[in-house]
Amino acid sequence: MKPIVRIPLGIVLALVGILTAAFFGLLLMIADCSIGCQERHEWLVPVGLVVLGIALAVVGVLLLLGRIFPSPARGGGQGGGSRNL
């Protein structure tokens, strides 16, 4: 993937992930979940969205670092080298 696409996409994914995790994490902390709410597992939706936000942030950071879809200039997994031995 070209750096002109990879870098802005990584920034957007990281920001969306951080904001999603922060919003639903705060919502989960201030929510008043009664015993009935806990028995119906209504708290699982915000927890799942926090985990999704963290995953989006991790993917965004990995894109920024070039660990996912590395640019061809960095080697891109093509060619030989001592790492392949």
Please check whether residue 75 lies inside any domain of the structure: no
Instruction: Tell whether 45 is covered by a domain.
Output: yes
CB count within 10 Å of CB 72 equals 10
The residue-averaged pLDDT of 61-85 equals 69
Task: Quote the number of domains for the chain.
Answer: 1
Q: Is 74 contained in some domain?
A: no
Structural domain contains residue 34: yes
HSE, side-chain direction, 13 A CA sphere, residue 24: 17
pLDDT digits (tens, 9 = 90+) for 18-69: 999 999 999 999 988 888 888 888 889 999 999 999 999 999 999 999 898 8
Residue 49: what pLDDT? 97
SS3 call for 81: coil
pLDDT at 84 (0 to 100)? 53
pLDDT interval class at 75 (50, 70, 90)? low
